[in-house]
Structure 1
């Protein structure tokens, strides 16, 4: 464990305060947080046994004002390599190769209902387009589809748009990202054409969620839910809607600071801090069976309203 002789808290806090002031998407919150960190430093709250404990305490304080789950001080047991991005990509690539490109499961259940599991993350689109296209095309002939995001920790927004393109009939505005400088915004739309076959925008669609579903995986669930396209079944998700960047502030410590915020064109807000709230709440372990039963009932002609049929699309 890194000791206090190797990590003095004051320089770490000074650097985090600078990063917040220069980069955090909410300047007014950044000012509040720098005040919290400096006060806690002066009180001796960060005089602890090592870098791991410091990271835990600082993260709690960083999230104390607006519960921004992407705002963190991350501890690394091994020193952060000088070329952190290359190391991160190498680790991501290993996960990609061992998960069939992020689609480790495609299964046909009773009643012609397909399950496509997307895990452990939504990989960069230039990697993932081929395996995702194969998985979604295979599932396109199903009578209903269950997309399992329970073990997905996030990833690439472009991959979110790519997946949505298989689940909609028309090009659709999904999300808008606003950046710290206030002068730039980026809209995300589903694609007019996709490789392979679409599942389409009319057959029953269910999305499974858990308290581990995070970031871009939450966007996928949220976008489809707000469009009225999918019924979300399971647990509230973690609640991280802000894209972030990482900076090394000590050989064992990395500060992640959100530099933008997502705004859904239907709800006018996002899932930050609240998570995506399921239409059909249940334990994550039960959600597949629950979604399967809902799909079977829907296909059997049960005309009772689905959980989303009689609700107006609303902020979550």
Structure 2
């Protein structure tokens, strides 16, 4: 048997084993996982979201019978799925790493490079990046909190931060390709276009729940925004932009995170140009032709001090906007505020 034929047989055998072990981890749990039922009306009823209420979450088993699960069971299933995904990744990476070592011994450094690339691609594919946005009143304070979350949860450095202030949620979209802050020329005013202030960021799919938890921490025990007594109106309404919106896979994780942080909010299905309702966050679909995308705000609104007088962030934080701009990031061509100063919205 030549080395080439032996290598092919070894590759086939190990990949077959990897596939079987991966499937074994995937099918080790129940035949279908329960999920929290999304309300079909415009609002998620608050008592439907309470962790103390048993939810009628149904899925069909192999025999066509209905399976009911309580909220405790759903949380257990959610944890089980995360464990299964983690185990599957471990199995795939472990077997592929073994394959890489054996292949190197048989066929040299070129094969080693190819297998290492395959291992890397396997890990990346299992945890893709997603774009999301969160709105909770004035976006200055919200951006700072999510910058801190990126550092804490993902270990990102300053040059890796993706949190940006912006606008979203308006039916009109953009005007002449622009969405701008209030300005003397009345150019593409975000408020008149129906948008709210938000912070957009790019995060791993597996970390959405953790960032949703950070979002709900922005609200006090009564569900009020930090600036509830000051900034009011549709421009400051609370909203969350996720792939698929209320019908997507992230909606349940959003609800779970809300319950875990005190179940302080109700949720509305975002239709665009929504009202500013206290203790309510609108869930928007930020994808697709009929979705509500994120529009980045002007440079002078990026990494700004907070709205309260005592929210003065370090100079190193404030300078990030200029740093990213010098690096080639495009913050649009909107006028610099109401008076053209580009300071504090003026």
Q: Report which of the two has the higher share of helix.
A: 2
Bigger CA radius of gyration: 2
TM-score with structure 1 setting the length: 0.28
Q: Report which of the two has the higher share of strand.
A: 1
